[in-house]
Amino acid sequence: MSDIEIAQKANMKPIIGLVKERFGIDAEHLDPFGHYKAKLSLEYVNSLADKKDGKLILVTAISPTPAGEGKTTTTVGLGDALNRIGKKAIMCLREPSLGPCFGVKGGAAGGGYAQVVPMEDINLHFTGDFHAIGVAHNLLAALIDNHITQGNALGIDPRRIQWKRVVDMNDRALRKIIIGLGGIGNGYSREDGYDIVVASEVMAILCLATSRADLKERLGRIVIGYKADGKTPIYASDLKAHGAMAALLKDAIKPNLVQTLENNIAIIHGGPFANIAHGCNTVTATKTALKLADYVVTEAGFGADLGAEKFIDIKCRMSGLKPSAVVLVATVRALKFHGGIAKEDLNQENLPALEKGFENLQRHYQNITQHYGLPCVVCVNHFTFDTEAELDLLQSKCKSLGANCVVSKHWAEGGAGAENLANEIVNIVDSRESGCTYVYDENLSSWDKIATIATKLYGASGIVASAKIKDQLLTWDENYGKFPVCIAKTQMSFSTNPNLKGAPSGHTVEINEVRLSNGAGFIVAVAGDMMTMPGLPKSPAAERIDIDDDGKITGLF
Amino acid sequence: MSDIEIAQKANMKPIIGLVKERFGIDAEHLDPFGHYKAKLSLEYVNSLADKKDGKLILVTAISPTPAGEGKTTTTVGLGDALNRIGKKAIMCLREPSLGPCFGVKGGAAGGGYAQVVPMEDINLHFTGDFHAIGVAHNLLAALIDNHITQGNALGIDPRRIQWKRVVDMNDRALRKIIIGLGGIGNGYSREDGYDIVVASEVMAILCLATSRADLKERLGRIVIGYKADGKTPIYASDLKAHGAMAALLKDAIKPNLVQTLENNIAIIHGGPFANIAHGCNTVTATKTALKLADYVVTEAGFGADLGAEKFIDIKCRMSGLKPSAVVLVATVRALKFHGGIAKEDLNQENLPALEKGFENLQRHYQNITQHYGLPCVVCVNHFTFDTEAELDLLQSKCKSLGANCVVSKHWAEGGAGAENLANEIVNIVDSRESGCTYVYDENLSSWDKIATIATKLYGASGIVASAKIKDQLLTWDENYGKFPVCIAKTQMSFSTNPNLKGAPSGHTVEINEVRLSNGAGFIVAVAGDMMTMPGLPKSPAAERIDIDDDGKITGLF
């Protein structure tokens, strides 16, 4: 059965009753969206402030293959398993982006028997958060061009506008455009472009905001561009945009509650890009879950070099969240891929390739345990093609590393398939204090922060950049000295070259662009070509998506 | 108090309970969106098929001033009044567009004590219908450019693509753009542009569709452009886009239920532009309301020459709806405006101007009674500046015309202020069979249909167009002979010149563009410059919209 067929057979319980039963939350604190989705009021969230926090478990992965290694699936499976063994656990996931549903990747609500439901709703419009973010972003864009057309009292330099427009669609034709054509009535022409909604700074802001007031303040801080001197920033607050933007986000800021196939509660809230942003769900959602449950399982985007790094050095550092353990998801397939095997041969047993590719896992594991001081369990997300010999080899390699390794079958068996993993995690987190170290000190210069990540985590010999970029970073350091850095590079490799598999060393990381996300509160360092607007493939999934007369959807996967 | 202040003081009842109490509908048939908005399932809608229909009352207006004459306010006031005098009545309204909220016009949920609530939700994202329409529209756009980039097997002529992109924002800089710049990876460059979401053909289609199957079939019929021969149409179904588009509209197709300040049920569903589309709420909503209530009050966009004409000749004709009576909304202010008085002097008594401007009302009244054979009540939407002498003059002018004229104070007094109007309407609709005539026969050529509307309703001497446009219409007539026509012209005048107030005669209507809305099922004839993407004013309302730490919104009006 396909994911959507499994999801449509789910025995869902009405969410309001389920939340009441599990967490004693009354209906008045929940805004229902249909019968199986609900938003939790911020007033209720705030009322939990004095409660003790549960334990936070991060699910991350080795450097992924294009298909992904199953972080969401593992997060759901582990959460279901924790509930099965009698623990009170909540999963915190990212909201899927609509655009990719119509392209290659499909949905992002888990897979097999480890899914969140209603799958179609979660993958399509869900509770409207991304639409609200898109409109808030585009309102600011419209206000910028309108301000220029109406006389440009602020002196915005049209050549230095950095605030693009966004749409939740894979639409390559919008990457680079010229707007304002057609004469006087349509304003001034200039170059512009579209990003996908998940790349919006508004998304990153919503995910890091800790209250309505903080959200509005961050929105006001957004730097949309500069005056003609190239130095004086123009803020969204200069355009008086932040109040209306925050009003548009009045519901988007509330965490969304849904359930897994096994009727356990998952909070799905926010979903910033993992390249030019920090790639994890909202601080509000994670903090809320920690007040409600004893164990909270959450995921971060891409591999651990990007996702876990940003989760810890950006999200946890900014918000005070203290992780207790890390699950490092690997697949036998991906390890063989890192061992040099072509995509089409990954389903065949190949022990030498697996052994060679293990170096990728090893570096991620060592990064997590050594640089963050966090206990780490390797979770092998089991595929039906995996052979006993391969699994044995992987176990023994992990053992030699001192790593716990658990083969987990949640995709095929749901929570029951992840009980070993759950027991392992409980043992670990119950026997240590929460908390971790960071990979760099917040008082370092931005340059040194980037260099520290590159050398310590990526195995690079150093970083390089043009004088202009170095100057830009120095200028920002004067004004925004304590901002963490957010590195945007390929997720396929520790290096900036997606073809360098395994655990490359001695490479150089070239920073070819830097961006200031002043509202979110970080500096983005781009290493390589970052695609913030995907395209559709030759045969888009959209062609196969359909709905019948009774409203049943097919072709979403 | 401002509209939003009145709305925020409303004593709202939970919508699920209210719908159950009034119409006996069980919670299982309703998808709640928060506690005060709900969607009704199509299965329940279909279960009503055999019930008797209530009476349908259309609220339309004289040629409006820029501020509008209060059709929505009157629709709500009349509906509340009908309920007050013991009748079972439902109001059917259009969903407001988000974009204009941030510009000049503000929201569109009624005004004063005749409003629908929750006002902020209805004006901002409501239940997400417009976002879904926007994404469905933009998915088709992305599939078009992707198809060309991937080899253009269908032979789409990039110069003849008619399917633009949409956004629910007043953003003039997007009216005319060039997309696909930046090199090979971003596809082929071409001219494009953005319309506001209400101008999307997907909006018109959703509003005219009678089932999920009909919706998908209409979406597939959309003509996105032509092959290089300039004649062979490319349909959305050629791109296999219609299934995914219909899937994106899976919830948008369900009618939305909310309440008035007086706790009566209103259905707010769909909101196509009244110029290049037909300007009224969904057929599904109107038909559902007629099954649930004995009296259904609905509105159509702009003045009666546009809104009522399209309501009857397009919506009623296509769907078989049979109106029973028309309410023609007028204001003393607007009549003085038609009598030649400048905007800033409208609050001063001016009987000669009122008498002169009355000719505008007179022609609308005669059009309704003579060409559609419908009884018509003139409703004077009372303003505090109106003098007794003005109201007396207006009454006596109506009397000489044989028209019932009721001064209605629903804005200030809610339903109580519109009881006279309600009683008048009940007397009329209870004493006649439902139904009307159409202004043109469906077998006429498109040219003759347009000419009939222009001469009969607008008082024009005739219509003119280029040979190219005439040829285009003839070509379409061969393929789509029975399509009604949808004239896009200024709402400010019976003519195509917004400055020709009153009731101009003998003018010529120049058709300078024609468009085929093959999915919606009508031919658009554009007379004048139609703005399908508004701009923001020098001081946009967005600058004054705000939200406080408790989530309370201010500055929406």
For A237-251, A380-394, B59-73, B198-212, which range has the lowest pLDDT when averaged over its residues?
B59-73
Q: Which of B172, B248, B549 is the closest to A213 by Cβ?
A: B549
pLDDT cut 70: percent of chain B above it: 100
CATH code (residue B172):
3.30.1510.10
Question: Is B356 marked active-site?
Answer: no
B-facing residues of A in 85-124 (CB < 8 A) are: 98, 102, 120, 124
In this structure, are B161 and B243 located in the same domain?
yes
The reply to whether A434 falls in a domain is no
- Is the CB of residue B529 less than 8 Å away from at least one CB of chain A? no
**A544 CA to chain B: closest CA distance, Å?**
8
Say whether pLDDT at B442 is over 80.
yes
The domain in which residue A183 lies consists of 130-248
Q: Is A255 helix (H, G, I), strand (E, B) or coil?
A: coil
Specify which residues A326 forms β-bridges with.
A58, A376
Based on the fold, state whether residues A421 and A472 are members of the same structural domain: no
Over the stretch B318-375, which tens digit does the pLDDT of each residue have?
Answer: 999 999 999 999 999 999 999 999 989 999 999 999 999 999 999 999 999 999 999 9
Q: How far is CA B392 from the centre of its chain?
A: 32
CA-to-CA separations, A98 to A120, A169, A192, A270, in angstroms, rounded: 11, 7, 22, 13
Q: Is the Cβ–Cβ distance between A359 and A335 less than 8 Å?
A: no
In a domain, B331, yes or no: yes
Query: Is A440 a domain residue?
Result: no
Q: Is residue A289 assigned to a domain?
A: yes
Burial A78-104 (b: 16+ CB within 10 A, else e): bbbbbbbeebbbbbbbbbbbbbbbbbb
Does A557 reside within a domain? no
User: What's the pLDDT tens digit per position in A83-131?
Assistant: 999 999 999 999 999 988 999 866 788 999 999 999 999 999 999 999 9
Distance CA(B139)–CA(A455), nearest Å, equals 42
- The one-letter code for the residue type at A52 is K
Q: Do B173 and A31 touch (CB under 8 A)?
A: no
Q: How far apart are CA B426 and CA A41, in angstroms?
A: 44
Predicted confidence band at B529 (pLDDT cuts at 50, 70, 90)? confident
Which residues, 6+ apart, have CB-to-CB distance to B208 below 8 Å? B218, B278, B282, B283, B314, B315, B318, B319, B520, B521
E strand spans, A75-232: 89-93, 110-111, 114-117, 165-167, 177-179, 190-192, 194-196, 223-226
Contact A98, A131 (CB under 8 A): no
In A226-285, the residues whose Cβ lies within 8 Å of chain B are 239-241, 243-244, 246-248, 250-251
Q: Residue A512: how many CB atoms within 10 A of its CB?
A: 15
Q: Which of B143, B179, B557 to mutate to test the interface with A (most CBs of A within 10 A)?
A: B179
Cβ within 8 Å, pair B553-A177: no
Q: What is the mean pLDDT of chain B?
A: 96
Do A460 and A506 contact (CB within 8 A), yes or no? yes
Burial of A2 (0-12, 13-18, 19+ CB in 10 A): middle
- The residue of chain A nearest to residue B27, with distances taken between CA atoms, is A35
Residues 447-486 of B with CB under 8 A from A: none
Structural contact between residues B281 and B94, judged by C-beta atoms closer than 8 angstroms: yes
Those residues whose C-beta lies under 8 Å from the C-beta of residue B518, and which sit 6 or more positions away, are B221, B222, B223, B233, B235, B480
In chain B, which residues have their Cβ closer than 8 Å to the Cβ of A138? 167, 169, 171
Q: How far apart are CA A328 and CA A310, in angstroms?
A: 15
Is B73 in the A-facing interface, judged by CB distances under 8 Å?
no
Q: Which two tokens stand for residue B296?
A: 């259904």
List residues of A with catalytic annotation. 71, 73, 94, 105, 274, 302, 383, 411
A294 and A155 within one domain: no
Is A534 within the bounds of a domain?
Answer: no
Q: Report pLDDT digits (tens) over A269-281.
A: 999 999 999 999 9
Residue B435 lies in a domain: no
Answer yes or no: do B551 and A181 touch at CB < 8 A.
no
B337 is catalytic: no
Q: ipTM score of the complex?
A: 0.96
In this structure, the answer to whether residues A375 and A513 fall within a common structural domain is no
SS3 label, residue B363: helix
Closest CA to B373 of B316, B334, B296: B316
Average pLDDT, chain A: 96
B166 vs A contacts (CB less than 8 Å): none
Domain boundary among B217, B248, B279: B248
Instruction: Say what the pLDDT of residue B107 is.
Output: 72
DSSP characters over A263-299: S-EEEE-----SSSS--B--HHHHHHHHHH-SEEEEE
Residues B106 and B183 in one domain: no
Look at residues A192, A220, A248 and tell me which one is the last residue of a structural domain: A248
Residues A93 and A141 in one domain: no
List, as one string, the DSSP characters of A464-507: EE-HHHHHHHHHHHHHSTT--EEEE--SS-SSS-TT--S---S-
Please check whether residues A26 and A86 belong to one and the same domain. yes
Task: Look up B165 and say whether it is catalytic.
Answer: no
Tell me the C-alpha to C-alpha distance, in Å, between residue A493 and each of A365, A497, B199, B362, B382. Answer: 15, 6, 46, 76, 71
Q: Domain check: are B458 and B333 in the same one?
A: no
A543/B244 Cβ within 8 A: yes
Active-site residue, selected from the candidate residues B130, B358, B411, B483: B411
Distance between CA B62 and CA B367 in Å, rounded?
Answer: 11
By C-alpha distance, which of A324, A343, A334, A338 is closest to A379? A334
Q: What is the pLDDT, as a whole number, of residue A7? A: 92
Grade residue B105 by pLDDT with cuts at 50, 70 and 90.
Answer: low
Give Cβ neighbours of residue B303 (< 8 Å, ≥ 6 apart).
B60, B61, B62, B63, B64, B364, B491
B202 touches chain A (CB under 8 A): no
Query: What pLDDT sits at residue B106?
Result: 66
- Quote the minimal CA–CA distance from A181 to chain B in Å: 5
Give the mean pLDDT of B162-177.
98
Is residue A199 over pLDDT 70? yes
From A112, A119, A156, A96, select the one nearest A37 (Cα to Cα): A119
pLDDT band for position B480 (50/70/90)?
A: confident
Q: Looking at the structure, do residues A209 and A110 belong to the same domain, yes or no?
A: no
Distance separating alpha carbons of residues A214 and A279, to the nearest angstrom: 20
Per-residue model confidence (pLDDT) at position B108: 80
Token pair of B530, please?
């139609």
What is the CATH classification number for the domain harbouring A484? 3.10.410.10
Distance from C-alpha of B396 to C-alpha of B379, rounded to nearest angstrom: 14
Residue B126, exposed/middle/buried by CB under 10 A (0-12, 13-18, 19+)? buried
**Portion of chain B with pLDDT greater than 90, in percent:** 94
Q: How far apart are CA B194 and CA B164, in angstroms?
A: 6
Confidence at residue A108, expressed as pLDDT on a 0 to 100 scale = 80
| Amino acid A105: pLDDT | 67
Dihedral angle sign, alpha carbons of residues A145, A146, A150, A151: negative
**Could you confirm whether B175 is annotated as catalytic?**
no
Q: Residue A125's closest chain B neighbor by CA?
A: B132
Q: What is the pLDDT of residues A437-473, one digit of tens each?
A: 999 999 999 999 999 999 999 999 999 999 999 999 9
Q: Which of B347, B354, B351, B435 is nearest to B383 (CA)?
A: B347
In a shared domain, residues A199 and A263: no
What is the rounded (10 degree) CA torsion for A459, A465, A471, A473? -40
B139 and A CB contact within 8 Å: yes
* Residues above pLDDT 70, as percent of chain A: 100
CATH of the domain at B58: 3.40.50.300
Is B19 found in the same domain as B159? no
Counted residue by residue, chain A has a size of: 557
A552 touches chain B (CB under 8 A): no
Sequence-distant contacts of B182-189: CB under 8 A, at least 24 apart: B182/A175, B182/A176, B182/A193, B185/A172, B185/A535, B186/A172, B186/A173, B186/A175, B186/A176, B187/A172, B187/A173, B187/A535, B187/B145, B187/B146, B187/B148, B187/B149, B188/B145, B188/B148, B188/B149, B188/B158
Picking from B268, B269, B12, the residue whose alpha carbon sits closest to that of residue B117 is B12
Q: For chain A, say whether B171 makes contact (Cβ under 8 Å).
A: yes
Q: b or e along B256-286 (b: 16 or more beta carbons within 10 Å of the residue's beta carbon)? A: bbbbbbbbbbbbbbbbbbbbbbbbbbbbbbb
Query: In this structure, is residue B552 part of a structural domain?
Result: no
Number of domains within chain B = 3
- A250 vs B31: CB contact, 8 Å cut-off? no
Q: How far apart are CA B76 and CA B6, in angstroms?
A: 15
Residue A260, beta-bridge partner list:
A116
* Cβ atoms of B269 and B195 closer than 8 Å: no
Is A528 annotated to bind a ligand? Reply is no
- Single residue among A378, A394, A429 that ends a domain in this structure: A429
Q: How confident is the model at residue A557 (pLDDT cuts 50, 70, 90)?
A: confident
Q: How far is B483 from chain A (nearest CA, A)?
A: 25
Could you tell me if A123 and A271 lie in one domain? yes
